[in-house]
């Protein structure tokens, strides 16, 4: 199954479970307090996922390494390479 398929399956499963519980006909309804909590659940989940995403990206952005040392080291390596190659007769 494609990733898209997996997502659709997952969403359909959760969605129908939610619909069955939250939107059941009057006779089969859950006790009112549960139902009250259940109705806005999809929105809560969406918001929670949004927050999680923002927090994760934000954290990773803040901790994205700046490789100053690697850049400095590369400069040294470049000089060494140039010197050695020139010595071996390379015409740049």
Partner 1 sequence: MAEGRANEAARHFRFRPAALSAPVVPAAPRALIGCGASPPRPVRQRADMAAGGADKFSVLLPTYNERENLPLVVWLLARTFRESGINFEIIIIDDGSPDGTQEIAEQLVKIYGSDKILLRPRARKLGLGTAYIHGMKHATGNFIVIMDADLSHHPKFIPEFIRKQKEGNFDIVSGTRYKGNGGVYGWDLKRKLISRGANFITQVLLRPGASDLTGSFRLYRKEVLQKLMEKCVSKGYVFQMEMIVRARQLGYTIGEVPISFVDRVYGESKLGGNEIVSFLKGLLTLFATT
Q: Which parts of this chain interact with partner 1 (CB under 8 A)?
A: 2-4, 7, 53, 56-57, 60-61, 64-71, 73-75, 77-78, 81-82, 84-85, 88-92
Closest approach of partner 1 to the CB of residue 79, in Å: 10
34 or 49: CB nearest partner 1: 49
| Contact present, 35 and 22 (Cβ < 8 Å) | yes
Coil, helix or strand at residue 25: coil
37 or 90: CB nearest partner 1: 90
Give every CB contact of residue 42 below 8 A, 6+ residues apart in sequence: 15, 18
Closest approach of partner 1 to the CB of residue 66, in Å: 6
For residues 92 and 89, what is the distance between their CA atoms, to the nearest angstrom?
Answer: 9
């Amino acid at each position: 199954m494609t990733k898209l398929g997996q997502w659709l399956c997952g969403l359909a499963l959760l969605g129908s479970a939610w619909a069955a519980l939250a939107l059941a006909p009057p006779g089969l309804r859950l006790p009112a307090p549960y139902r009250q909590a259940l109705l806005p659940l999809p929105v809560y989940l969406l918001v929670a996922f949004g927050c999680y995403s923002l927090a994760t990206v934000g954290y990773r952005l803040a901790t994205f390494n700046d490789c100053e040392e690697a850049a400095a080291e590369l400069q040294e390596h470049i000089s060494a390479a140039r010197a050695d190659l020139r010595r071996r007769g390379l015409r740049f």
